A and B are shown apart, each in its own frame.
Chain A
């Protein structure tokens, strides 16, 4: 299990990336993160839904009420064009951070 301090600043990037792949509802996002990281990173739903609310307030994602496969309704989230642009910025920063860490930590992380 990863130290949550390390990954805290990257929750936005994780959510945006997953929503670039497909629209998802809140609990689905939590499940995909859990499964894809093979339980190495389990985000608390309280943190995840708060981050989702914050991203929606910043218009990086938007929500709509969609149909469930077996009836009923769900609140789905989709990434906006602002969100895609913001994600591209995050990736640029990520590459820069990666270069910096490799330059400093060198073979220790290689």
Chain B
């Protein structure tokens, strides 16, 4: 029956929040397993019943058909935007801390004796930290 759960999980992988996805996977897996049981009771071999159930189940598009398109589009857009913001903050963080490190180690002798860039590195952590938290919130 793992094959069924794997199939359903793969079908939904790029859509829905984590919580909704978990609920959908649970309901779809149960329903498919019930179908397999019914087919087996009617005399179909287990392997064939699993194959048949998976083949007749439908596609990701069939899943999405049951939900108002605007809800899915909006959710997808928000997740995508937050993900981009998170990666942008990582890039920004790396550049700023990199610059601080460069100035710290390159110029004036007094700069070299104290590793002050660490203060910048810690101070800037709030940015990717916040962005990651915001991304995780909508992904849930």
A27 and B34 contacting across the interface, CB-CB below 8 Å: yes
Q: Which residues of A contact B64 (CB under 8 A)?
A: 50
| CA–CA, A70 and B38, complex, Å | 11
Q: Is A92 an interface residue (CB 8 A)?
A: no
The bracket for how many chain B residues form the interface is 20 to 34
Stretch from A39-47, A80-88, A101-109 contacting the other chain: A39-47
Q: Is B63 an interface residue (CB 8 A)?
A: yes
Q: Which residues of A contact B44 (CB under 8 A)?
A: none
Interface residues of A (CB under 8 A from B): 4, 8, 11, 25-27, 30, 44-54, 56-57, 68, 70, 72, 74-75
Interface residues of B (CB under 8 A from A): 11, 20, 23-24, 27-28, 30-32, 34-35, 37-38, 41, 56-60, 62-67
8 tightest A-B contacts by CB?
A46-B58, A26-B31, A44-B58, A50-B66, A46-B62, A44-B62, A27-B35, A51-B66
Known: A11-B66, A30-B35. 6 other contacts (CB 8 A): A45-B57, A47-B65, A49-B28, A50-B28, A53-B66, A75-B30
